[in-house]
Structure 1
Amino acid sequence: MLWSVVIGLWTVVAVVGLLAWEAYRLPDIGNLDRHTRAGAVRLVGADARMFASYGPMHGDPLTVDELPKHLIQAVIATEDRRFYEHPGIDPIGVARAAWTNLAAGRVVQGGSTLTQQLAKNVFLTADRSFERKVQELLLAFWLERQFSKDEILSIYLNRVYFGAGAYGVDAAARKYFGIPATRLGLMESALLAGMLKAPSRYNPAVAPELAGARTSVVLANMVDAGFIDQKTARAAASQPIAIAGPAGRGSGARYFADWVYDSVPDFVGRPASDLNVETTFDPGLQALAERAVAEGLAGARRGEGLQAALVALDPATGAVRALVGGRSYGDSQFNRAVQARRQPGSTFKPLVFLAALEAGWAPSDAIDDAPIRIAGWAPENIDGKFEGRITLAQALSRSRNAATVRLQEAIGRSRVRSLAERLGLSGPLPEGPSLALGTGEASPLEVAGVYAGIANGGRAVLPYAVTAVRDRDGQTLYERSGSGLSPVVSPRSAQALVGMLAGAVQNGTGKAARLDRPAAGKTGTTQDYRDAWFAGFTADLVTVVWVGRDDGSAMDSVTGGGLPADIWKRFMMPAHQGWPVRPLIGSGGDKTTLAETR
C-alpha cells in the first residue's frame, strides 16, 4: 500500500514536472493579435474585381458577429460541434473519434477541437510528436482562459488556410467567389467549411466534384446539428459551384498578371505591406482572347509546336485590355507577347508608307513594283512576280516588297527609322535596305503600341496596364495621371494611312480578317515562314496576333493572312458584340473611347 502511494506521488510529480517543462518550452504566446507576415499583391481588373494575387493572401479581419450565421453553423457542425461547451479539449469528442476510427479500422475522424487547431496553426508545427501534442493541449487551455469563445472562433477563421494561397475566410471568399465573406450564401459557406479538412483536396477550382460531395457532407452535418432542415440542405446542395474569383480564372490570365506583377516595383518599390494594384484588365475580353488563340491553334494544319501571342489595347489611351503570352501557361510561363522579340515582317511596312505620306507623297501616287538591286541584295515578292507601275495604296494593300523598298530608298531610310522610334519601337533597327521589310525585332506589345499610334490619328502610345497602386488601408502610392500621348505625325498623314490599311483588309492580303464593321490592318510573314503576324484595329480596339515557333524554325507555309488573321477575327468579332459600329479615325463620327463604350 505504501509503495502504491509513493509511486502515485512520484507519478503526479513527473506529470506536473513534464507539464511545467513543456509550458516553459512553449513559444511566445503573448502576441496573438500582433500578426506579422509578408506583404501580398492583389491585382484588380477594370471591373473592380480581383483576378490574381501573389504571396499569401489575407482578407479583412472579421468577428463572428460580422460573418453570416450559416457560415459559423457550418464550421461548428463539421469541425467542433461542442465548441461552446468544452474547456478547450473535448473528451467526448475524443472518445467519439476513437470509437469511429476503431470501427473503421483506420483514422477517419479527428478529435481536435477548434481551439486546439488554432493553437497548432498559430504557434506550433505540423509535427505529430508527443511533445507537440502536449504543447497543443496547454495552449488550448491558455487560449480558453485568455479569450472568449467568439474571439477564439474569430481568430481561427481569420487565420486558417483555405488553399490557393488564401489565409482566412474573407480571403477565401474573395479568392473563390469574388465577394467578401460577409456576403457568403449557405452553399458557399458549406463549401468553405468543408475545405478545412483538406484545402488542396477539396479546392473547388481544381476538384469541383470532390468539393461538391464534401459540401453535401457539411450540409448534412448542419441538418444533424439542428441548424437547418433537410429541404434547405437539398436546395443548397443542388446549386452549381460557380467560381467567380481569381482561383477560377483561366491560366492564360497569368501572362497578363505576371507582366503587371513584375512591373509593380517600378511604381512603388518593394513595400512590405499588402498592395492592391488596379489595372486595365478586362476579364471578358481576356476570356475571348484565350479562346481565340486556343481554337485557332487547335485547328491549324500541322500545328504541333506552334505558339501564339495576342495583345489587345485601347487605341485612344494605350490601356491593355487582354494579353495572351502563349498557348499554355502551365507548359511555359515565357510571355511571348511581352518578352519575345521577333521580326515583324510586313507589319512594319505601314511605317514606310507613313513616312512617305509625311514627306509629301499621296496614296494615289505611283511607284514601280519592279526588280531592284541594292549592294547585291534584291528583294522579291512572295508570289515571285512584279506588277509594274502601281499606286502606293495598291502596293501596301498587296504587300509588294519591291515597291516598298523602292519607296523607302526614295524618301530615305533615316525618315523611316526616326518615325519608327517616335511611334515606340525601342530595339535597334537595321541600317540597310531590308529595314523596309521588317527585319528588325519587336515584341507584339510594341507592335500593338505602334498600330495604336496610327489608329488614333498619329499620337504616340505607350501601352500600359497599371492605373493605381494602393496599400491595404487605401492610401494611394501611385496613380496614373495624364494621357501620355503626344503627336508624332500629322493627323492628315495618319488618316491617309488608315484608309490604305482599310483597303488591305477589304481587298488585299488581310481579307480573311474582315469584320462586320470598319477595320484596318496588315499581314506580316517573315523569311521561310518563321513568323506570321496580323496587326489590325477598329475604332475601339487594336489587336496584334503573332504565330511562330520558339526556336525560330520554319512553319508549314503559315502566312499572316492565314492563321494569325483567323485568330484575330475569332477574337475581334465577339469582342465587339454589343458595341456601336463606329467609323475609323479620320472618316468622321464621334471620338468616344473604348473605356466609355464598355
Structure 2
Amino acid sequence: MPTTLFEDPTATVVKAANGQWLGAKIAADEQWRFPEIDTVPEKFKQCILLFEDEHFYKHPGVNPISMGKALGANIKAGKTVRGGSTITQQVIRLSRKGTARTYFEKLKESILATRLELRYSKNKILALYASHAPFGGNTVGLDIAAWRYFGIEAKQLSWAESATLAVLPNAPGIIYPGKNQSTLLKRRNGLLKKLKDHKIINQTTYELALIEPLPQKAYEIPRLAPHLSEYLHQTKTGKEVKTTINYKLQKEVNQIVKSHYLQLKQNHVYNIAALVLDVHNRNVLAYVGNSPTDMFHEKDVDMIHAPRSTGSILKPLLYAAMMDDGELLPKMLVEDIPTKIGDYSPQNFDETYNGAVPADEALARSLNIPAVRLLKQHGLEKFRDELDFFKLKDINRPAYHYGLPLILGGAESNLWDLCKTYASLASTVNHFNETSSEYYTHEFTEPCLLYGKQSNFGEKVQQKNIFDAGSIYATLEAMKTVNRPEDEVSWQYFESSTEIAWKTGTSFGNKDAWSIGLTKDYVVGIWVGNADGEGRPQITGVSSAAPILFDVFDVLPKTTWFKKPLDELIERSICTQSGYLASSICPSVTKWIPKTGARSSTCPYHHLVHVDLQKQFRVNASCQPIDKITTIPWFTLPPLMEYYYKKNHVNYKELPPYKTDCYNDLEKSMEFIYPENNTTITIAKDFDGSFNEIVLKIAHRDSDAKIFWYLDEQYIGQTKQFHELKISPSKGWHTITALDENGYQISRKININK
C-alpha cells in the first residue's frame, strides 16, 4: 500500500478568524475537493455508518458476512445488484482510481483494507472517506457538499440534510438539483426511518426531518474575499488557510464598497480597494481587493497590491522627516508662492497661492508648492534614502529618476505597503507610551494575514527606528486637523466622533484617489480609480476615497486619541505669528514640540522698526530727532510672500512708508512673480499668425509705489498698484529690469523661443 493514499489536488480554502468561509479556489483538476478533514460531524457519521457500514467499528476492514450475501445475490441475478464493501474498502477503491470492478480487484481491495486498518484509526479512515467520497458532479468530499447543496458548513447539517448526503456516494448521480427528486427522497427517508428504528433519533425528530425539502439548486461558493483567496492561493495552494480577517467587518466593508461603487460608476469609475489593519498586532481585519464590477472593468485585478501613483499620500513622511531633523515645527510658516525649479513648476490643486502658510495647515490642506519647496530644502536624495526604510517595494528607482515630483505622485506604491507604513507610525507612538519610552527594532513589520501568527516587533531599544515618537505625534496631530483639503465643500460630510488622522491623495490626471486614516487602534486605506489607468473628472481623494474611509471607520469600534509621547517632546516659546522659535521681540506662546525642534531657527520675520511717535512713518536719524523716534517689533514677510499672504490675512500690517525727507537704505521692497531668472520662454502664435505676448509680474511692498520697466536698458513703461506689463520681445536672450521710486532695482534674464 502506498505511503500516501490520495495525491489529488485540493482547493485552496480561505476562512476568517472565526472559522467561517471567505472563499475558495477550485483544485487544479477542476474538482471542488477540499483539504482532508480531521473529524466527521456526529450526525453525518451516524447516517453514513448506518447506510454504508453498520459494523464499521467491529470488522478488521472486511466484513465477510456482507461480502458473502452480496456475492450470492449477484450470482443469482447474473449481474451486480448489491455491494458488500466496507467503508475501509471504499477508501481503498477511491484511492485506486480507474481500476476495474472485478472479483480479482475486489480481492486486492480486501487485502489493502486490512492493511489500512493496521495503519490508521477507525476515525481517521472515516475522515478519509468523508473527504474523498463523490457527492455528484465535480463535488468531492463532505465539506464542499454541505455548502454546495445546503449553503452551510458540515457541522451545521440537520438529520435530514446529513441523511441526504449519506446516500449520495453510493449513487452520486441522483443529486442533480431539481431532478431525480423521487429517488433521492425515497433513499433519504428510508435512511431516516432506519435512524428512528435504531433509536438514534426519536419520533418527533423523524417526523420533522421527513418534511424538510431536498436541495433544489447548488449554492455558490462564498466570495466574501475573492482577491484575498487568489492572493493566498499563490503561496498556500490546496491548503485550508485560516486568516486574521474579521468576518463581520469584512461583510460590512464589502457592502460599503458596493454602495460607493454604484455611485462612482455613474462617473465611469469602476474600481475600489479597501484594507483595514489592527495597529497593535498588524492583523489584516478586512481585505477588499476590488469592487463588484465586471470583467470588462478588470474585476479580478487585486488593486491592494497594484502599483499606482501615490499623489500626495507621501507628504506626511516628509513632514515627519523634517520635524525629526529639527528643520520644521508644526506651526512654522512655509512658503507658498509661484515656484519654478529648473523646468519644474508645481501648482496647488486649486491653482492659488497663500504666500505663507503654517506647516501643519499645509499638510492638512495638502498644498503642493510648500511640499515641493520643503523637499528641496530637506534634500531629494536624503528623503529618497529614508523611503527605503519603509520597504515600499514599488519605489525602487534612484532619486534622480523621480525628481521633486516624487512628493506629489511622481512615484508609484500600493495600498498594502502604504497602510503598513502608516500602521507602523501609529504603533511607534503607542509602543513608546506603553514602554519606558522605548522603541522596537522591528517596528516597521509586514501586516499579518495568517491566524495565530504573531508579529515580531523585535527587541526594545532606546534608539529610534527612523523618526522619533515626538515627530510622528506632531505629524499625526496635523493630519487630525484636516480641514477642507483640495475640495472646500466636502469637509462638512466627514464629521466623526472618533479623532482620526487622515490624508488624501490625487494623482496627476485624476487617475488615482487615495485616502488613508489612522487611530491608535486601526488603519484604514482606500484607493479609488480605474484599473486600466483611465482618469476621470472629479476623482479626488476627498470626493471619492474619503467618504468610503469614514464609512469604514463608522463600523469600527470607537477609539481614543494617542497619548503624548512626553519624553520626546519639550516645551518652548513659539512665535504666534511665524511658528518659529520665538525671539526676544516675538509675541509668543508656550507649546509642546518635538525635542529636535529645539535646534530649529528663531523667527526671521520679526524686526525692530524705527517709527515716529504716531507710528505713521518709518524714520531714522537722518530725518527725525532721536527723542521723537520709537522702536517697535514688526512682523514682515518678504515682498513676494507678503503679496499673496496679505490677500488672505486682513490683519496683516504692511510696513509704514518712510517719511519723505528720510534717507532710505534701499531695503528689499519688491520681487519678481514672473518670470523666473534664467528661464527659456516659448511664445506660441495666435490664431491670426501673430505671436502672443508675455506678462511680466512684480510684487511690491508699497501698494502705491510706481515701478519703471526696462527691456535691455530701453524704457518700456511704468505701472502703479497692479504691477503687470505685457511685452513682445524678439527671439533670444533679454534682460528685464524694474526700478521703483526709491531707487530699488531688480533684474531677470530670459531666453525667448519662438
When residues 132 and 449 of structure 1 are mapped into structure 2, their CA distance, relative to the original with a 3 A threshold, is same
Q: Which residue of 1 aligns with 2:67?
A: 87
Letter in 1 for 2:518: F
| Cα distance in 2, alignment partners of residues 124 and 357 from structure 1 | 69
Letter in 2 for 1:186: W
Instruction: Decide which of 257, 275, 282 is 1:293's aligned counterpart.
Output: 257
| Cα distance in 1, alignment partners of residues 277 and 127 from structure 2 | 44
Q: Which residue of 2 aligns with 1:541?
A: 522
| Cα distance in 1, alignment partners of residues 499 and 282 from structure 2 | 20
Instruction: Decide which of 296, 311, 314 is 2:278's aligned counterpart.
Output: 314
Deviation, 1:288, is: 2.4
User: Which has the larger displacement, 430-439 or 132-141?
Assistant: 132-141
Q: Is the 8 A contact 2:420 2:446 kept in 1?
A: yes
Q: Cα deviation per residue 1:461-488 (whole Å; 9 max; x = unaligned)?
A: 223325589xxxxxxxx97544589632
Q: Which residue of 2 aligns with 1:451?
A: 422
Q: Is the 8 A contact 1:120 1:136 kept in 2?
A: no
Instruction: Decide which of 373, 395, 406 is 1:435's aligned counterpart.
Output: 406
When residues 324 and 121 of structure 1 are mapped into structure 2, their CA distance, relative to the original with a 3 A threshold, is same
| Cα distance in 2, alignment partners of residues 193 and 225 from structure 1 | 13
- More relative contact order, 1 or 2 (CA 8 Å, 6+ apart): 1
Instruction: Decide which of 441, 446, 471 is 1:493's aligned counterpart.
Output: 471
Letter in 2 for 1:490: D
Deviation, 1:498, is: 0.6
Q: Cα deviation per residue 1:315-335 (whole Å; 9 max; x = unaligned)?
A: 234332222222259955432
Q: Is the 8 A contact 2:43 2:162 kept in 1?
A: no
When residues 557 and 240 of structure 1 are mapped into structure 2, their CA distance, relative to the original with a 3 A threshold, is farther
Q: Which residue of 1 aligns with 2:389?
A: 422
Residues 338-353 of structure 1: matches in 2 within 5 Å? 338=305, 340-353=306-319
Deviation, 1:187, is: 4.7
Letter in 1 for 2:410: T
1:37 aligns with 2:2: no
Q: Is the 8 A contact 1:468 1:480 kept in 2?
A: no
1:251 aligns with 2:227: no
Q: Is the 8 A contact 1:423 1:488 kept in 2?
A: no
Letter in 1 for 2:529: G
Instruction: Decide which of 223, 241, 247 is 1:283's aligned counterpart.
Output: 247
Instruction: Decide which of 183, 193, 217 is 2:166's aligned counterpart.
Output: 193
When residues 94 and 321 of structure 1 are mapped into structure 2, their CA distance, relative to the original with a 3 A threshold, is farther
What is the TM-score of this pair, normalised by structure 2?
A: 0.56
Secondary structure at 2:554 match in 1: helix
| Cα distance in 2, alignment partners of residues 263 and 186 from structure 1 | 38
1:225 aligns with 2:194: yes
User: Which has the larger displacement, 561-570 or 541-550?
Assistant: 561-570
When residues 191 and 308 of structure 1 are mapped into structure 2, their CA distance, relative to the original with a 3 A threshold, is farther
Deviation, 1:553, is: 1.4
User: Which has the larger displacement, 523-532 or 416-425?
Assistant: 416-425
Instruction: Report the structure number with the largest CA radius of gyration.
Output: 2
Secondary structure at 2:550 match in 1: helix
Residues 293-442 of structure 1: matches in 2 within 5 Å? 293-302=257-266, 304=268, 306-328=270-292, 331=295, 332-338=299-305, 340-360=306-326, 361-426=328-393, 427-428=395-396, 430-431=399-400, 432-442=403-413
Deviation, 1:515, is: 2.9
Deviation, 1:305, is: 6.1
1:125 aligns with 2:103: no
User: Which has the larger displacement, 538-547 or 284-293?
Assistant: 284-293
| Cα distance in 1, alignment partners of residues 533 and 313 from structure 2 | 18
Deviation, 1:290, is: 2.2
When residues 81 and 355 of structure 1 are mapped into structure 2, their CA distance, relative to the original with a 3 A threshold, is closer
1:522 aligns with 2:490: no
Residues 198-217 of structure 1: matches in 2 within 5 Å? none
Deviation, 1:434, is: 0.7
| Cα distance in 1, alignment partners of residues 18 and 210 from structure 2 | 30
Unaligned runs of 5+ in 2: 28-32, 57-62, 430-438, 567-754
Deviation, 1:348, is: 1.6
Q: Is the 8 A contact 1:539 1:585 kept in 2?
A: no
1:560 aligns with 2:545: no
Q: Cα deviation per residue 1:339-390 (whole Å; 9 max; x = unaligned)?
A: x101110112212222232232122111232221111221222222223322
Q: Is the 8 A contact 2:160 2:209 kept in 1?
A: yes
Instruction: Give 1 or 2: higher strand fraction.
Output: 2
Deviation, 1:519, is: 0.9
User: Which has the larger displacement, 251-260 or 158-167?
Assistant: 158-167
Q: Is the 8 A contact 1:530 1:554 kept in 2?
A: yes
| Cα distance in 2, alignment partners of residues 514 and 290 from structure 1 | 22
Secondary structure at 2:482 match in 1: helix
When residues 185 and 342 of structure 1 are mapped into structure 2, their CA distance, relative to the original with a 3 A threshold, is same
When residues 375 and 74 of structure 1 are mapped into structure 2, their CA distance, relative to the original with a 3 A threshold, is same
Secondary structure at 1:121 match in 2: helix
Q: Is the 8 A contact 1:114 1:153 kept in 2?
A: no
Letter in 1 for 2:165: L
What is the TM-score of this pair, normalised by structure 1?
A: 0.69
Q: Which residue of 1 aligns with 2:688?
A: none
| Cα distance in 1, alignment partners of residues 358 and 192 from structure 2 | 80
Deviation, 1:444, is: 0.6
Deviation, 1:138, is: 5.6
Secondary structure at 1:394 match in 2: helix
Letter in 2 for 1:59: E
Secondary structure at 1:436 match in 2: helix
When residues 250 and 171 of structure 1 are mapped into structure 2, their CA distance, relative to the original with a 3 A threshold, is closer
Q: Cα deviation per residue 1:485-540 (whole Å; 9 max; x = unaligned)?
A: 96321111111111111111687757344433111111111111111111111221
Q: Is the 8 A contact 2:505 2:540 kept in 1?
A: yes
When residues 211 and 534 of structure 1 are mapped into structure 2, their CA distance, relative to the original with a 3 A threshold, is farther
Secondary structure at 1:87 match in 2: helix
Secondary structure at 1:385 match in 2: coil
Q: Is the 8 A contact 1:45 1:280 kept in 2?
A: yes
| Cα distance in 2, alignment partners of residues 402 and 201 from structure 1 | 71
Q: Is the 8 A contact 2:271 2:293 kept in 1?
A: no
Deviation, 1:440, is: 0.3
| Cα distance in 2, alignment partners of residues 193 and 88 from structure 1 | 24
Deviation, 1:94, is: 7.9
| Cα distance in 1, alignment partners of residues 515 and 214 from structure 2 | 39
| Cα distance in 1, alignment partners of residues 276 and 180 from structure 2 | 36
Residues 90-129 of structure 1: matches in 2 within 5 Å? 90=70, 115=86, 120-125=93-98
| Cα distance in 2, alignment partners of residues 423 and 211 from structure 1 | 60
1:59 aligns with 2:36: yes
When residues 60 and 301 of structure 1 are mapped into structure 2, their CA distance, relative to the original with a 3 A threshold, is closer
Q: Which residue of 2 aligns with 1:73?
A: 47
Unaligned runs of 5+ in 1: 1-30, 100-108, 265-269, 470-477, 589-598
Deviation, 1:311, is: 1.6
